Each structure stands twice: as C-alpha cells, then as structure tokens.
Amino acid sequence: MARVVTFSRNVFIPVTDLCRNLCGYCSFRRPPDRSRVIPRREALQIISQGAESGCSEALFSMGDRPWEVAGRREELLHYLVELCELALEAGLLPHTNAGILEEDELRLLAPYNASMGLMLETTAQVPLHLGSPGKVPRVRIEHLERAGRLQIPFTTGLLLGIGESREDRAASLEVIARLHRTHGHIQEVIIQGLDPKPGTEAQSLTPPGIQELAQTVALARRILPPEVAVQVPPNLADPRPLVKAGASDLGGISPVTPDWINPRHPWPSLERLRERLSGCTLRERLPVYPGYVLAGKYGSRAAPVVALLADGDGYRRPPGS
Ligand code: SF4
C-alpha cells in the first residue's frame, strides 16, 4: 500500500513583527519604530482569499511577547482572539503560534484554536539565542508543559544548524517525547534547517545539508512515539529523501500567502509535490491531526468548523462535498 503523506492547506497571517527577542538568524522581527500590527481589513482579506481557495487553516504567527516591547498586552491578545473569530466565521480553523504565553493567555486563546504551536528549536544554549529571553530552553519547555496540561493539540519542532550538536538534537527530541508521553498533546514535530538570511548574524553559517536533515528525521522517528508525526517543510528542502527517512507530513502549504518566516522560499505546488513524491499518497488533513479530531480534542469554539471540514477518518473532507 502507498505511504500516506499529509499536508494542510493554509493561509499565513503575520499578526505583528514586534518581538522581545533578538535571535541571530531572524529577518522577521522589526524594531518598534518600524513594526506593524496587521490591520483588520488586511487580515480579513487574507482569510477570505484562503476560504475561497479551499484552505482549512489560518496560521496566526507573531513575535514573542510583543507587549513586552510596546505594551498593550490586553489589546493585542483580544485582537488575536478577534482574528481567530473572523477566521472561524469564514470557515477556517485557527492555528496560533504566538511565542511564549502564560497560562491565562493560553486559556484565552485555546478555545478558538484547532491546535497551537511553538518550536522548541533546541534544548541547547546557543550563541544565536543570547539576546532572546524567550529562547531559554527551560522557558520553552515550560510552555510546552503548560500546553500539555491544558490538553492543546500541539506542534513543535527543531531548528537545525543554529550551533547545536547531534547530541543536542537527540536530547531535544527526548524532551519532546517525554512531554508527549506525559500529556499526549504533541501532534507533530517539525524538522527544519536554518535558512541563513543575508544581513543577519547567521548569514555566513552553512545550513544543514539534505543528508543531515534526513539523519535527523530518522533520529526523530526512532525517538518519538509512533503517533507523533515528523513534518518537513517542502519549500526548504527536497521532501523525497526526508519522507524516505521517516517524515510523514509536509505541514501547511499555501496557495495564497508566502512563508513569511522564509520568504525566499516559495511553496511548491501540490502537482509538483505529487510528482516528487510519486509512490506516496498525498492526503489533506486539518490543522488538527485526525486522531485528535476523532477524540474531540480541539478548541471548543472551533468545533462547528471541524465538524464541517472533517471526514469520517478525521482528515479533510474534499472541499465542496
Ligand atoms: S522569536 Fe522569532 S520573531 Fe522574534 S527574533 Fe526570534 S526568530 Fe525573530
């Protein structure tokens, strides 16, 4: 039987590029005098385009604790909730990655989200994270724990090539596996290589090659429980050898918006991916994985949209059916 490789169809909505961190590889963050919060009208336009294009996911992303740079915590959090509500009204399921959140902030957002996310990146302390209080490994692990206690279906992952060793990668995966065994909330782990962007501290670093990515995918497959998917973004590396090594998911692919974190890398079309992954069956899922859909584990406000979009196996129902 052909191997199933999943993906979701999404729109990427950068809520704000304000961020308290100063990661040495970042080209997304802007200083307060040049930063922006996406206007409601612009967000709504992206959401509408996503709905018209058959997407199921609205990926809301923003810098880490922007209110520590510019204040207005309540205002920004409630705006985020409002954007989630707009997405749900349009028939899209929110997946929010809003950096480190306290428990009350997670509780506020979780009901509106099908799933949420935060890259662990690494449990090692690396020089590229020196200016980033939100990248202290303990702080990120605590966030993953909070999400687990609240039973939020969760996406996390490793960023490779930022100064961590192979042993660090194994240790990071062991931490994620332990968290999942305790809480049962990790739906997928992204294995992603650094994209050293010009003008950043990381610009002269050599990104991990395909062989190293494949070795890490295989390592992840060995360490993680079988129900936790290994995801590889197909705009950053050829997915074929990575699927061969054990990856089973391609993440969100957008027919509408760019990858705002890696804007130099456009999404391949689904036709191109089908060609590259001939021998596999590409199957569309929702931003919450089938097992969680069938178990009814997702934000309560997202339930009516999950019911509309999911098929009997918990995958995406073909649009229009
Ligand atoms: S947390 Fe994200 S947005 Fe903030 S500096 Fe680091 S990479 Fe950039």
pLDDT at 205: 96
pLDDT at 303: 98
For ligand 1, atom 7, the nearest C-alpha belongs to 26
Residue at 57 is within a domain:
yes
- Please tell me if the CB atom of residue 21 comes closer than 6 angstroms to any atom of ligand 1: yes
For 255, other C-beta atoms within 10 Å of its C-beta total 16
Give 261 Cα–ligand 1 centroid separation in angstroms.
9
Tell me the CB-side half-sphere exposure of residue 108, using CA atoms within 13 A: 16
pLDDT at 254: 87
* pTM summary value: 0.96
Residue at 316 is within a domain:
no
Cα separations (Å) of 79 from 39, 102, 133, 265? 10, 17, 24, 29
Cα separations (Å) of 280 from 6, 239, 285? 10, 12, 15
Give 61 Cα–ligand 1 centroid separation in angstroms.
11
Give 123 Cα–ligand 1 centroid separation in angstroms.
16
- Please tell me if the CB atom of residue 120 comes closer than 6 angstroms to any atom of ligand 1: no
For ligand 1, atom 3, the nearest C-alpha belongs to 63
Contact of 179 with 142, CB cutoff 8 Å: no
Range list of H helices, 210-269 = 210-223, 239-244
- Please tell me if the CB atom of residue 129 comes closer than 6 angstroms to any atom of ligand 1: no
Give 282 Cα–ligand 1 centroid separation in angstroms.
31
Contact of 210 with 192, CB cutoff 8 Å: no
Q: Which domain holds residue 140?
A: 3-309
> Which of 12, 16, 22, 23 has most ligand 1 atoms within 8 Å of CB, for mutation?
23
Q: Which two tokens stand for residue 133?
A: 């209080």
**Cα 147 from chain centre:** 14
For ligand 1, atom 6, the nearest C-alpha belongs to 23
- Please tell me if the CB atom of residue 63 comes closer than 6 angstroms to any atom of ligand 1: yes
- Please tell me if the CB atom of residue 23 comes closer than 6 angstroms to any atom of ligand 1: yes
- Please tell me if the CB atom of residue 29 comes closer than 6 angstroms to any atom of ligand 1: yes
Residue at 319 is within a domain:
no
Residue at 175 is within a domain:
yes
Looking from the CA of residue 25, the nearest atom of ligand 1 is: 7
Q: pLDDT 10s digit of each residue in the chain, 321 long? A: 789 999 999 999 999 999 999 999 999 999 999 999 999 999 999 999 999 999 999 999 999 999 999 889 999 999 999 999 999 999 999 999 999 999 999 999 999 999 999 999 999 999 999 999 999 999 999 999 999 999 999 999 999 999 999 999 999 999 999 999 999 999 999 999 999 999 999 999 999 999 999 999 999 999 999 999 999 999 889 999 999 999 999 999 988 887 777 888 888 889 999 999 999 999 999 999 999 999 999 999 999 999 999 999 999 998 777
In the chain, the number of structural domains is 1
Contact of 306 with 293, CB cutoff 8 Å: yes
Q: For residue 53, what is the domain's CATH number?
A: 3.20.20.70
Residue at 315 is within a domain:
no
- Please tell me if the CB atom of residue 194 comes closer than 6 angstroms to any atom of ligand 1: no
Token pair 């997702």 is found at 298
